[in-house]
Amino acid sequence: MVAADPERGLEAMAPNLRVSLLGWWDRHGRHSIPWKLGPDGGPVADGIELDPYPIWVAEVMLQQTQLPVMLPYWRRWLAAFPSLELLAAAEEQQVLLLWQGLGYYSRARRLHQGGRQLVAAAAQHGQQRPATGTATPAAAIGAATAPASPAMAAAPFPRSLAGWQALPGLGRSTAASILSSAFDQPAAILDGNVKRVLARLIATPLPPARQLARFWRLSDTLLDPQRPRAFNQALMDLGSTLCIPRHPACGRCPWRGPCAAYAAGDPAKYPVKDAPRAVPYQVIGVGVVLDGAGRVLIDQRLNEGLLGGLWEFPGGKQEQGEPIAATIARELAEELAIEVEVGEQLIVLDHAYSHKKLRFVVHLCRWLGGEPQPLACQQLRWVEPAGLDAYPFPAANARIIAALRQRLGIVPAAAATESLQVGENRLSA
Ligand code: SF4
């Protein structure tokens, strides 16, 4: 078991911990993750370098979701943008549409910006191809459009933590994971899975968030300098498959012997958490505004803040004691300068974010007058309801679209979008 001073104890035990973890991983690890495969489509040998681009995309997607959920998104992304250059050349709307359903859209925008940054840097330095890199096979991506060797992108991928962290939206753990996965560099990681495993290994009574420097030291101490890519992947696989949040499978764990939480008898009680804060609750009145031609009015959110750059149906917060119809009429007058007749309720839906809970009360509205103005958004458009699929919407709005189409008896036609731009107020990202 880990000694009374966990850091010194782990330092002494690190060689044995590496051997036992890597032995387990060789037999039971996840060896078919597509962006970690070698050029022949099989497991990659230690020291062989991989293309950082698909790894980077995967790491950003994994910041917010589990591997089985993000895998189809990753394949779709690599099929659409098989190289960094194609990503850099894409329109932001195309990027957001591909991200639709993953949430945290600012990450997609930052990935896009980062791609443009690297391509611009390559152009500035006259670089054509990186010195290293091998392809994630097209078969692994599952993309008919993926080129035979998409990895040889004309961009200078960073080879240091600082270089990756200089790109938008990349923290230390993501940067380290890319470095170790692509270049087999000894960079310690500290994602949620790793924090949980380490917290249990030493049975610390404090939440990891309150002792991050210490956890970074622990991860660094344990890292195998000879096989950093394999070790980091093994640690992540341990956290994803055995040392899971509620019912850790300690009976099959290679670290059961030294694990202090297991010895204490209740490993699931770690990591210790701070008491949850109360989450605010808000009611949002939403207007689905139709004009005389049957077109519906949508607005594009500002790039800053939650769901930046996505499209939505206009509306806003209900004030205390205000009837919801009055909320919708007021918000549309304040933010779009239009007058509407608020009609029947279309749908009510609840949506929980990590920091707040929202209830959307959605009403059909008839446009009475006033030229729509983008007073609190980037731009507004009148769109045929059948063509709404051409715009990236947050998840809650997708349910509003489904309800609208059902009410109108309309079949979606993603490709055919008739839209009329009625105002524009572009803001920089
Ligand atoms: S013994 Fe159990 S709690 Fe400890 S690291 Fe292994 S799975 Fe996690």
Three-state SS annotation for the chain: CCCCCHHHHHHHHHHHHHHHHHHHHHHHCCCCCHHHECCCCCECCCCCCCCHHHHHHHHHHHCCCCHHHHHHHHHHHHHHCCCHHHHHHCCHHHHHHHHCCCCCHHHHHHHHHHHHHHHHHHHHCCCCCCCCCCCCCHHHHCCCCCCCCCCCCCCCCCCCHHHHHCCCCCCHHHHHHHHHHHHCCCCCCCCHHHHHHHHHHHCCCCCHHHCHHHHHHHHHHHCCCCCHHHHHHHHHHHHHHHCCCCCCCHHHCCCCCCCHHHHHCCHHHCCCCCCCCCCCEEEEEEEEEECCCCCEEEEECCCCCCCCCCEECCEEECCCCCCHHHHHHHHHHHHHCCEEEEEEEEEEEEEECCCCEEEEEEEEEEEEECCCCCCCCCEEEEECHHHHHHCCCCHHHHHHHHHHHHHHCCCCCCCCCCEEEEEECCCCC
Q: Phi/psi zone of residue 203: left (φ > 0), alpha (ψ -120 to 50 degrees), beta?
A: left
CA of 205 to the centre of ligand 1 (A): 16
Q: What confidence score (pLDDT) does residue 411 get?
A: 65
**Closest ligand 1 atom to the C-alpha of 254?**
6
| Domains in the chain: boundaries | 6-269, 281-424
Which of 13, 20, 200, 252 has most ligand 1 atoms within 8 Å of its beta carbon, as the pocket-test mutant?
A: 200
Give the residue with greater pLDDT, 111 vs 3.
111
Does residue 8 have a pLDDT over 80?
Answer: no
In this prediction, residue 278 has a pLDDT band, given cuts at 50, 70 and 90, of confident
Q: For domain 281-424, give the fold.
A: Nucleoside Triphosphate Pyrophosphohydrolase (3.90.79)
Which of 25, 197, 244 has most ligand 1 atoms within 8 Å of its beta carbon, as the pocket-test mutant?
A: 197
The pocket around ligand 1, CB under 6 angstroms, is made up of 197, 200-201, 242-243, 248, 250, 253, 255-256, 259, 261-262, 267
Q: What is the CATH number of domain 6-269?
A: 1.10.340.30
Is residue 347 a contact partner of residue 371, using CB atoms and an 8 Å limit? no
CA of 260 to the centre of ligand 1 (A): 9
Q: What are phi and psi of 404, to 5 degrees?
A: -65, -45
Which of 13, 262, 269 has most ligand 1 atoms within 8 Å of its beta carbon, as the pocket-test mutant?
A: 262
CA 248, 250, 252, 253 torsion-angle sign: positive
For the residues 294-314, what does the mean pLDDT come to? 89
Is residue 216 a contact partner of residue 190, using CB atoms and an 8 Å limit? yes
Does residue 415 have a pLDDT over 80?
Answer: no
Question: Which of 22-31, 146-155, 186-195, 343-352 has the lowest average pLDDT?
Answer: 146-155
Task: Give per-residue pLDDT as tens, 98-154.
Answer: 998 888 888 999 999 999 999 998 888 776 544 334 444 444 443 333 333 344 444
Burial tier of 293 (Cβ tally within 10 Å: 0-12, 13-18, 19+): exposed
CA of 255 to the centre of ligand 1 (A): 6
How high is the mean pLDDT of the chain?
87
Give the residue with greater pLDDT, 276 vs 59.
59
Does residue 2 have a pLDDT over 70?
Answer: no
CA of 62 to the centre of ligand 1 (A): 23
In this prediction, residue 155 has a pLDDT band, given cuts at 50, 70 and 90, of low
Please name the residue whose Cα sits nearest to atom 8 of ligand 1.
243
Give percent above pLDDT 70 in the chain. Answer: 87
Q: What confidence score (pLDDT) does residue 235 get?
A: 98
Among the listed residues 422, 173, 192, 387, the one whose alpha carbon sits nearest the alpha carbon of residue 300: 422
Please name the residue whose Cα sits nearest to atom 3 of ligand 1.
267
Enzyme catalytic residues: 59
Please name the residue whose Cα sits nearest to atom 1 of ligand 1.
256
User: Whole-prediction pTM value?
Assistant: 0.76
Question: Which of 56-70, 180-194, 208-222 has the lowest average pLDDT?
Answer: 56-70
Q: What confidence score (pLDDT) does residue 409 get?
A: 87
| Angle subtended by helix axes 172-183 and 52-62, to nearest 10 | 150
CA of 256 to the centre of ligand 1 (A): 6
